[in-house]
Amino acid sequence: MISLEKNLKTVQQRIASAAERAVRDPRGITLVAVSKTFPAETILAAHAHGVRHFGENRVEEALEKIPSVNQQTIRLTNQPTNITWHLIGHLQSRKIKDAAPLFDFIQSVDSVALAQKLERRAALLGKTIPILLEVNISGEATKYGFAPEPPEPFFDAVRTILALPHLDTQGLMTIAPIVAQPDDPRPRSAFRALCALRDELRARFPERTWQHLSMGMTDDFEAAIAEGATIVRIGRAIFGERD
């Protein structure tokens, strides 16, 4: 837990320094601590050090973990839980029934069909779910997400999703190419492209603010901040290597 506190302070300092270099306010960047595979005790330790946003990849893992952590924070603080839970992994249609009541923010909406099913479940729950549209900006076959090219089918899909009243579309999410060398330009190019796509969406759909760009992980979050990230998803640099 001592190393967790040290790691967290280091990450926060790196975020602040990256924001300063980009002439940005670090308060405009949300740190989502990626807690997949880590137990409730580790999440509670991070919460005790001020982390309020956690990201999980798998609905089945989160089904027990999220209620447990929420209940323990309520017991420890005697207040409603102040954690925001983000689903950052691929959401299968058959998992929507479980994910919709469980998560506060779904970052990985990657198709119109998924959005429509999520809309129906949110309506049944009587809630509005903040979402991000996942974009496969690098075009890698191994990644999920909307294809940004050709652009018109993507913009048609966005138009359809924006009409769903129980989904609050707040921006875009992407996963940059994994590279071996830190000076490889591909991640930064991907981040720049996602930012440009967000700017085009603002022009085409000005009724939304499109305030969020979720991009950047342990190996590339500083480059993502330089290109406009408002959410960074960091696990290993905070919690250490996973089993």
Tell me the pLDDT tens digit for each residue of 37-71.
999 999 999 999 999 999 999 999 999 999 999 99
Residues in the chain with pLDDT < 70? 1-2, 243
- Is 159 among the domain residues? yes
How high is the pLDDT of residue 182?
Answer: 72
Which pLDDT score is estimated for 47? 96
The answer to the question of residue 243 being in a domain is: no
Q: Which domain holds residue 137?
A: 2-237
Please report whether residue 128 resides in a domain: yes
Domain count, the chain: 1
Assess if residue 242 is contained within a domain.
no
Is there a domain that residue 173 lies in? yes
For position 91, which CATH number holds? 3.20.20.10
Q: What residue has token string 């950047």?
A: 216
Q: Say if 76 falls within a structural domain.
A: yes
User: What pLDDT score does 213 carry?
Assistant: 98
Residue 188, CA atoms < 13 Å, CB-side half-sphere:
10
**What confidence tens digit (pLDDT) does each residue in 145-158 have?**
999 999 999 999 99
- Residue 149 makes CB contacts below 8 A (sequence gap 6+) with 139
pLDDT for res 1: 60
Pairs from 50-55 (Cβ < 8 Å, separation ≥ 24): 50/8, 51/8, 51/238, 52/82, 52/83, 52/84, 53/83, 53/84, 53/86, 54/83, 54/84, 54/85, 54/86, 55/85, 55/86, 55/87, 55/88, 55/107, 55/233, 55/235
* Residue 241 pLDDT: 85
Q: What DSSP letter does each residue of 175-211 carry, written as one string? A: -PPP-SSTT-SHHHHHHHHHHHHHHHHHHH-TTS---
Say if 31 falls within a structural domain: yes
In a domain, 9, yes or no: yes
